[in-house]
Amino acid sequence: MSEYQVKKLRRTDKGRIVAGVCSGVGEFVGIDANMVRIALAILTLFGGLGVGIYAIGWLLMPDEHHETSIVQDVISKQQQRKSTADWSGEQKPQP
């Protein structure tokens, strides 16, 4: 049996300028990261959409050294906090 290597969309360190979103998308799609940067710059000039797309990518794409994204980390922390609070909102002591 041959093993398939699945491509994962991640923010990368290689070619990173700010948060690694463009370099991660470029690597995933197979194009130069500068092409992604140019596209986002053009979208930013025409209505500011590029900044929003970049911010969403930064929040939703995990870093190459982590399995979860920033949003997933925040959600799991909230769920842990809810599970340790009783009905009155007070924190239960951790065992």
34-62: pLDDT as tens digits: 999 999 999 999 888 888 889 998 988 88
Q: Is residue 61 part of a domain?
A: yes
In this predicted model, which residue has the larger pLDDT, 89 or 15? Answer: 15
Whole-number average pLDDT of the chain: 81
Distances (CA, A) of 16 to 6, 9, 12, 25: 22, 14, 6, 11
Q: Is residue 51 part of a domain?
A: yes
Q: Can you give the residue range of the structural domain that contains 40?
A: 21-84
Residue 38 is predicted with a pLDDT of: 93
The token pair at 14 is 């290689």
Q: Is residue 2 part of a domain?
A: no
- Structural domains of the chain, count: 1
Residue 85 β-bridge partners: 91
Residue 2 DSSP class? P
Question: Which regions of the chain does DSSP assign to beta strands (E)?
Answer: none
The token pair at 24 is 């991660």
Q: Is residue 49 part of a domain?
A: yes
Residue 69 pLDDT > 60: yes
Q: Is residue 45 part of a domain?
A: yes
Q: Is residue 6 part of a domain?
A: no
Residue 85 binned pLDDT confidence (cut-offs 50, 70, 90):
low
Mean pLDDT score, 60-80? 84
Q: Which amino acid is at 74?
A: V
